[in-house]
Amino acid sequence: MGNIVFRVCVFSLVLFSGVALAEPKVAIALHGGAGTISRSVMSPAQEAEYLEILDQAVELGRSRLLEGVAGVDVVVEVIQLMEESPLFNAGRGAVLTWDGQHELDASIMDGETLQAGAVAGVTTVKSPIAAARAVMRQSEHVMLAGSGAESFAASVGLEVVSNDYFTTERRLQALDRYKSSRQAGLPVAPTSKFGTVGVVVLDVNGNLAAGTSTGGMTGKRWGRIGDAPIIGAGTYADNQSCAVSATGHGEFFIRYQVASDICARVKYQGKALETAAFEVIHDVLEPVAGEGGVVAVAPNGDVAMIFNSEGMYRASIDGNGKKTIAIYGDGAAAGASSDG
């Protein structure tokens, strides 16, 4: 009897140890905008800067997920890192409107509850993605816009800054070029339509979350709002299908409800995540000249980073620990692809 008890105890100890030591399955994918991105217009130094922040962001996200932080909060933390980088069209470094101001948009969605929050056209909220989370958690609404959104953000203690906090010399020059082209009747650079940051995650509890933050289009007017703050267009998350964040020419992503369409194909047609994302980006958007891309994650830890533009700043670590960091659209991972 004593020998049997000993064996049972040893087996239980081994089983318990195996469970304790097993690393939970988490996954993350993120983007920093899509568009005309080629090696011919990017110096090695610029490329290195982008690769560094993409790597920093994806590693931060995975480490926080492994610590057990809820997916929604990880999405906010990683996007805030990118909002604070002048390299991206979100937060500090956002593009300028025709009038030389910044109007920022963001949204977030919790795949477990389908709760969502968004802000649009804010000008003084330092972190639009934090404001979007606050709308989701601390109000009865889904989207707040303009001065109302700013008043709400201030009322819940979010940091408020002057509008010129977001300004960089690079964006001032981009606005000058845009206005000069428009006033001369010349075609404008396609990059004026693109640029967003977004993050999708699978957390240790098996919950999905997605978030997106942007400064919109260079030279935009009349309070234009793109797809980034619109649930179903630029952001969507549902534990029963996938989480998606989009970047590109927002008008097309709104018309074709890109994020929710991808998740619907997974949920109702049983398609693999990458297949569903490819179909929407290439078979639906491309024929109508809708340019851009998405990052997405599935409940099993699969990730997809699909785009039809020349490039997309992107990084991911899937549920198996495979890490990818890339910029260009030639199939080359400009950086790292490894099993972590």
- Residues catalogued as catalytic: 196
Q: What is the spatial distance between Cα 58 and Cα 63, in angstroms, rounded to a whole number?
A: 9
Q: What is the spatial distance between Cα 339 and Cα 324, in angstroms, rounded to a whole number?
A: 9
Alpha carbons within 13 A on the beta-carbon side of 158: 23
Q: What is the spatial distance between Cα 245 and Cα 249, in angstroms, rounded to a whole number?
A: 13
Q: Which helix (H) or strand (E) holds 171?
A: helix 169-183
Instruction: Report how far Cα 38 is from the mean position of its chain's Cα atoms.
Output: 21
> Where are the alpha helices (H) located in 22-145, listed in sequence order?
44-66, 71-83, 128-138
Q: What is the spatial distance between Cα 123 and Cα 128, in angstroms, rounded to a whole number?
A: 9
Q: What is the spatial distance between Cα 228 and Cα 217, in angstroms, rounded to a whole number?
A: 11
